[in-house]
Chains A and B, each alone.
Chain A
Amino acid sequence: MSKKISILIVDDEESVRDSLYNWFIEDDYRVECAENAKKALSMLESDHFDIILADIKMPGMDGLEMLRRIKALRRESIVIVMTAFATVDTAVQALKDGAFDYVTKPFDPDDLSHLIRNASKQISLTEENEILKEKVVSLENVEDLVGNSEAMHRVLQQIESAAQSNSSVIITGESGTGKELVARAIHANSSRKFFPLVSVHCGALTESLLESELFGHEKGAFTGAVYNRKGRFEMADNGSIFLDEIATISTKMQIELLRVLESKKFIRVGGNKEITSDFRVICATNKDLKSMVENGTFREDLFYRLNVLNINIPPLRERSGDIPLLVDYFIKKYCTTMNQPPVIIDTSALKRLEEFTFPGNIRELENMIERAIVIGNGKKITLKDLPLEKTLIDNSAESLDDHEKNHIFQILNKYNWNISRSAKALQVDRVTLYNKIRKYNLKPLE
């Protein structure tokens, strides 16, 4: 049910206040009255009213002055001015000062109903407009950023803020947390979304190659430069450039990069013509750039130039509550890719995944699910389809007996608890294996 519309009646005549109060109260509005402008303004400071019906002629502050003050206090307020002595001048002045409408007392009951209906329509349009505005800035193309945890909500909020600005962004987070996805989301929600997002994996290129990749080169600039080539900065004109693994670039490149970021101008390798490009820089790293600045391995000026906005993506182990959602997402993704009906995941397997620390973060989980779908029975992912046991058991093994127990358990699982094949693999006879199973109280996985 929609909320009650609130009306404040401001008139020095008690009979008018009473009449309007009774009229509106019967229409189920929330109604309050004030006998002068001063009281009305003080009520407006502590309470919100959707519609203010104010008399123009009042002792002390008149209705027009009150209208101006109300508009200064809350621009969106709907003020309807009433008077018994209508003149065109006062009506025009009231409307110029932001009144919603102007009525002459006494009004026809139908006029009053129309007036309030129109004002209510205006209120609902304003509210709808606000909702639509919020929808416009709400994020799009973030389907790949799966998660319902508080940490993930924080990241999404930061993406939304970053998308609305044009400043440089550094995305930090462990390997496999989805830094590139965040960069894509920022770009896809920014005003630059209709222009390219150019990605450069700085860590994969040598210094000279990176220079050529970023700035482009002229024909004959170096051996193999058989034609002119646009650099990534040039390609990212009006769009964004994503520099992954920014911490790996050399000191020389750091200087070059700083210069380009400051001037947005550069020269192709082997060229002499200055090129201007309007791009936004989004960087990512899994290193602690601040400590690199302290060590002197990363330029401080470049760090501050890049680190206008910082988005830190938490590792998967810190948001294990998102694992079921991610598993579901990857199952759908890979079953669709492999053109097979969706599989389900065993409860114990999912529980084990939730307990796992995932040093490789989401990338590791994604690979696990992809592998499980490939090697599984096509219906259900069980614990044996997931390469988790080794890591889990190794973590707790300390004594020789523990190692023996874990190794036997692993081999038994590998051969689906086929005793003959497991014994053969372990190079022991079957009786010995049975004895070991009894000794360590080993049982097949559910």
Chain B
Amino acid sequence: MNQQSISLISFGYFQKDFLEKIAEDVRHEFLFQVHVREGRLDLSDFYDPSRKQYNGNSMLKHVDAIFSSDDVKTMGLFSVDLFIPILTYIFGQAFLNGRTGIASLYRLSNERYGMVMNERVMLERFSKEVIHELGHTFGLVHCHNPTCVMQSVTYVEEIDQKSQHLCNHCRKQSGLY
């Protein structure tokens, strides 16, 4: 695998075409080769029974230690509810300027908020979240441009409002183009 590549590793059940679409969006945004593969991980190690959630910090560190390498950016894709000790939930997180990030589909579906299921919307949200976390691994911090994918969001509705692209400023900052 060459240096300019991104590895998307799915943990848990994801439909193949769903993952392909995510990979295509990522490829389109970063112009890198994107590889999709399945990973196996015992998530019970990261489960916190008191919070009924999975510890994102530990999972990120674990993915980084076991599945990542220096010549590739690695994203762990999950479908479980992630938290970090200080926050009630997170959509994903990454090492700033590092090699690894994680993102979860869990809180991105409409049904979770009592609305009609919409797979297209969920796919878009997940693509944005994956691109956002990958942006962090390229050294990008949160952006104040409301349409930039690097804008910080805390609710799904806010994810819908931003685009899945980096703004010009973030493009320049990332030094990728």
Q: Which of A's residues lie within 8 Å of B, judged by CB?
A: 13, 15-16, 18-20, 22-23, 25-28, 82, 105-110, 112-113
B141 in contact (CB, < 8 A): yes
Q: Which of B's residues lie within 8 Å of A, judged by CB?
A: 51, 55, 57, 83-90, 93-96, 136, 141-142, 152, 154-155
Q: Chain B residues near A25: list those with CB within 8 A.
A: 96, 141
Q: List 13 other contacts, CB 8 Å, given A26-B93, A105-B86.
A: A19-B85, A19-B86, A22-B95, A23-B87, A26-B136, A26-B141, A27-B141, A27-B152, A28-B142, A106-B51, A106-B88, A107-B86, A109-B87
Q: Do B93 and A22 touch (CB < 8 A)?
A: yes
Alpha-carbon separation in the docked complex, A82 to B87 (Å): 12
Of residues B55, B57, B87, B94, which shows the largest number of chain A Cβ atoms within 10 Å of its Cβ?
A: B87
Alpha-carbon separation in the docked complex, A113 to B152 (Å): 9
Q: Chain B residues near A113: list those with CB within 8 A.
A: 152, 154
Q: Do A112 and B142 touch (CB < 8 A)?
A: no
**Given A22-B96, A110-B154, A110-B155, CB of A16 within 8 Å of CB of B142:** no
Q: Do B85 and A26 touch (CB < 8 A)?
A: no
Interface of A is mostly: helix
Q: Do B142 and A20 touch (CB < 8 A)?
A: no
**Given A19-B84, A26-B152, A27-B152, CB of A109 within 8 Å of CB of B89:** yes
Residue in A closest to B58 when the chains form the complex, CB atoms: A15
Q: Do A26 and B88 touch (CB < 8 A)?
A: no
27 sample A-B contacts, Cβ–Cβ < 8 Å, listed by A number: A13-B85, A15-B57, A15-B84, A19-B57, A19-B84, A20-B86, A22-B57, A22-B93, A22-B95, A23-B84, A23-B86, A25-B141, A26-B96, A26-B142, A27-B141, A28-B141, A28-B142, A82-B86, A105-B85, A106-B51, A106-B83, A107-B87, A108-B87, A108-B154, A109-B88, A109-B90, A110-B155
Q: Chain A residues near B55: list those with CB within 8 A.
A: 15
Of residues B84, B96, B152, which shows the largest number of chain A Cβ atoms within 10 Å of its Cβ?
A: B84
Q: Do B142 and A27 touch (CB < 8 A)?
A: yes
Residue in B closest to A103 when the chains form the complex, CB atoms: B86
Alpha-carbon separation in the docked complex, A25 to B83 (Å): 17
Of residues B83, B85, B142, which shows the largest number of chain A Cβ atoms within 10 Å of its Cβ?
A: B85
Q: Do A106 and B96 touch (CB < 8 A)?
A: no
* Interface pairs A-B: 9 shortest CB-CB: A28-B141, A19-B84, A110-B154, A109-B154, A19-B86, A15-B85, A27-B142, A16-B85, A108-B88
Residue in A closest to B135 when the chains form the complex, CB atoms: A26
Q: Chain B residues near A110: list those with CB within 8 A.
A: 154-155
Q: Do A112 and B87 touch (CB < 8 A)?
A: yes
Q: Do A106 and B87 touch (CB < 8 A)?
A: yes
Q: Do B152 and A107 touch (CB < 8 A)?
A: no
Alpha-carbon separation in the docked complex, A112 to B90 (Å): 12
Residue in B closest to A27 when the chains form the complex, CB atoms: B142
Q: Chain A residues near B51: list those with CB within 8 A.
A: 106
Residue in B closest to A53 when the chains form the complex, CB atoms: B86
Alpha-carbon separation in the docked complex, A15 to B57 (Å): 8
Q: Chain A residues near B154: list those with CB within 8 A.
A: 108-110, 113
Q: Chain A residues near B57: list those with CB within 8 A.
A: 15, 18-19, 22
Residue in A closest to B93 when the chains form the complex, CB atoms: A22
Q: Chain B residues near A109: list those with CB within 8 A.
A: 87-90, 154
Q: Chain A residues near B87: list those with CB within 8 A.
A: 19, 23, 106-109, 112
Q: Chain B residues near A107: list those with CB within 8 A.
A: 86-88
Alpha-carbon separation in the docked complex, A106 to B82 (Å): 13
Alpha-carbon separation in the docked complex, A15 to B85 (Å): 6
Q: Chain B residues near A13: list those with CB within 8 A.
A: 85
Q: Whole-angstrom distance from the CB of A65 to the nearest CB of chain B?
A: 22
Residue in B closest to A18 when the chains form the complex, CB atoms: B57
Q: Whole-angstrom distance from the CB of A80 to the nearest CB of chain B?
A: 12
Q: Whole-angstrom distance from the CB of A81 to the nearest CB of chain B?
A: 13
Q: Whole-angstrom distance from the CB of A119 to the nearest CB of chain B?
A: 16
Alpha-carbon separation in the docked complex, A105 to B84 (Å): 11
Q: Whole-angstrom distance from the CB of A56 to the nearest CB of chain B?
A: 14
**Given A26-B141, A28-B142, CB of A16 within 8 Å of CB of B86:** yes
Q: Chain B residues near A19: list those with CB within 8 A.
A: 57, 84-87
Alpha-carbon separation in the docked complex, A19 to B84 (Å): 6
Alpha-carbon separation in the docked complex, A27 to B51 (Å): 26
Q: Chain A residues near B90: list those with CB within 8 A.
A: 109
Alpha-carbon separation in the docked complex, A111 to B41 (Å): 32
Alpha-carbon separation in the docked complex, A414 to B105 (Å): 95
Q: Chain B residues near A27: list those with CB within 8 A.
A: 141-142, 152
Alpha-carbon separation in the docked complex, A106 to B136 (Å): 23
Q: Chain B residues near A108: list those with CB within 8 A.
A: 87-88, 154
Q: Chain B residues near A82: list those with CB within 8 A.
A: 86
Alpha-carbon separation in the docked complex, A23 to B133 (Å): 12
Q: Whole-angstrom distance from the CB of B63 to the nearest CB of chain A?
A: 14
Q: Chain A residues near B84: list those with CB within 8 A.
A: 15, 19, 22-23, 106
Alpha-carbon separation in the docked complex, A112 to B86 (Å): 9
Alpha-carbon separation in the docked complex, A106 to B51 (Å): 10
Residue in B closest to A13 when the chains form the complex, CB atoms: B85
Q: Do A106 and B85 touch (CB < 8 A)?
A: yes
Q: Whole-angstrom distance from the CB of A362 to the nearest CB of chain B?
A: 52
Q: Chain B residues near A112: list those with CB within 8 A.
A: 86-87
Alpha-carbon separation in the docked complex, A82 to B88 (Å): 14
Residue in A closest to B90 when the chains form the complex, CB atoms: A109
Residue in B closest to A20 when the chains form the complex, CB atoms: B86
Residue in A closest to B95 when the chains form the complex, CB atoms: A22
Alpha-carbon separation in the docked complex, A108 to B87 (Å): 6
Of residues A18, A22, A28, A112, which shows the largest number of chain B Cβ atoms within 10 Å of its Cβ?
A: A22
Q: Whole-angstrom distance from the CB of B55 to the nearest CB of chain A?
A: 8
Q: Whole-angstrom distance from the CB of B129 to the nearest CB of chain A?
A: 13
